[in-house]
Structure 1
Amino acid sequence: MLLIRLIFWVCYISSSLNDLIVSECPSQIITDNICKCHYSKVCTYPDQRACFLMHCTQLANESSLTRQLKRLEPFDIPIDLIISSTTLSYFGYNSSEWSNFKVAGLRMYHNNISNLSETAFKSLSFNLRHFSIMENAHSEATRTIDFRGVMRSLKWLPHLDDIFISVYRIEQLDFNAFKYFMNLSSLSIITSHLDNMIGPNSHEFTSLTSLMLHSNIDHFPNYVFWQMPNLKNIVFVSKNLAIIEKKDFSTLSLKWLEKLTISYTSVETIENKAFESLYNLKQLSLQENSIQNLAENSFANLTKLEVLDLSSNKLTYIQSRMFNDLVSLKILKLNKNQIGPYLDVSALMPFHSTLQILYLGNNKLQNIPLFEHGTYMFPGLIRMDLSYNQITSTPFISPKDTSKSIIPVNLTTLDLSHNIISNTYLQM
């Protein structure tokens, strides 16, 4: 569970900072008899907004935090502030003094916060756009920050663009609590224990384009997405989800959805035409599940799909007509399965002219599925991974007839490491 949380935290930070221009700036070490803090200007945005990292390891109370902030040079532009790895147990009781700082982003990671003042962020209401709070305890048993308390403290921040909340337990996740954030475009909720979830009522989240939900529920909560018509990205993680059904999506209007991730679940089965209504989908990630087989029409109507990730599952074979509608596919990831001993090239033919990257490493393959009746079928393929299989021979050029080119120059990377190859005439 810790590994999954870490993966999504890294992904979130990466996506949040992808517009930053990294610059080398000197850092300051500020020390007094209570705490030692490291401040550094680590980046600037294209619009010249500065970004500061604050890392305090011996900070025990909020007064010390405010005092340390006052020691910095006056901020004449908005900043992103990261408070991490402190021993703070409460936050917000001296927050009125924060009005002197133009904080646009506040990210609070790996502290010991269990209590937030209802007016904790009131003085930040005009400037704050990005808020994150994650892993605020030292053990799972004490990760008890009250989700409803977090929401009460956020009510002063109607201009938030993105919210990221990770707490150990949520007794009730009511999406109606987010209706006050009129500009909210990205929402991420991560919890190990979710007791109850309520979808939005009549309010439409028209500005919301990205939703990440990581919980322990045993079904896909399609009722959550009914009032989110403009979603472009959904990430759903739940170790207790066992099946993906057609009704999970067929009753929804997600015509703008481009990316769907359902990962780190117990899913073994995907119903026929499960994703048929998601006709604008461009990226489907189903990695790190327990999928054993797929029906012929599992990916029906996904004619715009460009990336399909089925890595780290339990697939043993690929049916010849499984990918029939994937005529735009560019990247296919089938690595870390149990496919073998052969993969019929006809299964890949629907996208033979568009495929650019193919990952088949860590399977049980004995063949290289690039040819049909002796003809190379993938002119656009530039990268292929076949490492850690059971391949004994490779396509090669006969020394007696070097005019026969088998693997074209477009294929710049072919990884055949950790196989049992016997011949030597490999054309790259």
Structure 2
Amino acid sequence: MVRLTLELIAKSRSHFQKRSGISFLEYLRTLTHLHFSGRNIEDIGDLSQCRNLTVLYLYDNQITHIRNLNFSSNLTHLFLQNNNIAHMDDLANLQKLSKLYLGGNEIAVVEGLEKLSELTELHLESQRLPPGQKLLFDPRSLLSLADSLCVLNINRNNIDDIGDLAALRRLEKLYAADNKLQNMEGLEDVFTRWPGLLEMDLSGNPVCKTPKYRDRLIVACKRLVVLDDRDINEITRRFLINWKASKEANKKKKNKQTHHDDDGTFRIFFLNK
């Protein structure tokens, strides 16, 4: 088993050997970035001497568990994509974490984020899930991220509903391509809860075949500038919003007229009696 340890760091040509003139322990105390991607690492050992670590690159390995990171209270970026992680453990102490990359793992439930009040980006794309299973979200984690999370990547996770994500009221970018979303009305309801949404990708979902799909989302998301990797023209947006307002006004006028006509018909019928 390949384990990330202080000994492995000491042997790494890309780390300690480049910092001659100081002791190994002194080097560990000054270490802020640790690069160990694509090394067939299966486990994270005791790195508690690296207390000033802010960025940890461990993507493209064979890691099965997130552990031994309790020491890293200064960590802001954690790259763990393309490993074999099934559970989101040992994250509670990473209270300065800003960006978390966990795409390409085996995570079935997004959880354990209740203490990460500074998390702005969460990347969970392409989880390797059993056939028919979809990525789920613990409501407690979503509520904890409501005032911080700005970017969410959930591409390719068999997701058929994002109603629970409405709690993420500060969301600015949503990447949810190649899922199973198909309820346009449900999506419109969620998007109205995200007033700051700027960029969204829903390509590859069944909902994209809904008539007027793009027009309806442009109207629902007032600040959206990119939809499905295509820029939104401001003139087009204004036209669609005005068109919808005019259509709703005409509908109300027609309903009001129908109501008056019904009352008149009733009165004439009553008098004839």
TM-score where L is the length of structure 2 = 0.66
Q: Does 1:209 align with 2:117?
A: no
Is this contact kept in 2: 1:271–1:295, CA < 8 A?
A: no
Equivalences for 1:6-21 in 2 at 5 Å?
A: none
Is this contact kept in 1: 2:107–2:135, CA < 8 A?
A: no
Instruction: Check 1:64–1:271 CA distance in 2 against 1; reply closer, same or farther (3 A cut).
Output: same
Instruction: Check 1:188–1:332 CA distance in 2 against 1; reply closer, same or farther (3 A cut).
Output: same
Equivalences for 1:384-423 in 2 at 5 Å?
A: none
Structure with bigger strand share is 1
SS state at 1:163 partner: strand
In the TM superposition, residue 182 of structure 1 has moved relative to its aligned partner by 2.0
Q: 1:124 corresponds to which residue?
A: 50
Q: Does 1:185 align with 2:185?
A: no
Equivalences for 1:49-198 in 2 at 5 Å?
A: 62=8, 65-66=11-12, 69-74=15-20, 97-101=24-28, 102-117=30-45, 119=46, 121-125=47-51, 127-136=52-61, 143=62, 145-147=63-65, 150-152=66-68, 154-174=69-89, 177-198=90-111
Equivalences for 1:256-271 in 2 at 5 Å?
A: 256-263=170-177, 265-271=178-184
* Structure 2 gaps, min length 5: 1-6, 241-273
Is this contact kept in 2: 1:276–1:302, CA < 8 A?
A: yes
Distance 1:205 1:133 in 2: 20
CA distances 1:203-229 after superposition (whole Å, capped 9, x unpaired): 453211111112235145262422112
Point out which structure has higher relative CO (alpha carbons under 8 A, 6+ apart). Answer: 2
Distance 2:27 2:229 in 1: 50
In the TM superposition, residue 233 of structure 1 has moved relative to its aligned partner by 1.2
* Structure 1 gaps, min length 5: 1-60, 77-95, 137-142, 312-330, 334-347, 354-428
In the TM superposition, residue 257 of structure 1 has moved relative to its aligned partner by 1.7
In the TM superposition, residue 160 of structure 1 has moved relative to its aligned partner by 0.5
CA distances 1:311-336 after superposition (whole Å, capped 9, x unpaired): 7xxxxxxxxxxxxxxxxxxx149xxx
**For 1:279, which of 195, 200, 207 is the aligned residue?**
195
In the TM superposition, residue 64 of structure 1 has moved relative to its aligned partner by 7.0
Distance 2:225 2:13 in 1: 51
Q: Give the counterpart letter for 1:218 in structure 2.
A: K
In the TM superposition, residue 303 of structure 1 has moved relative to its aligned partner by 0.9
Is this contact kept in 1: 2:111–2:138, CA < 8 A?
A: no
Distance 2:237 2:9 in 1: 64
Q: Does 1:255 align with 2:169?
A: yes
Distance 2:229 2:220 in 1: 18
TM-score where L is the length of structure 1 = 0.44
State, as a whole percentage, how many aligned pairs show the same letter.
17
Q: Does 1:235 align with 2:153?
A: yes
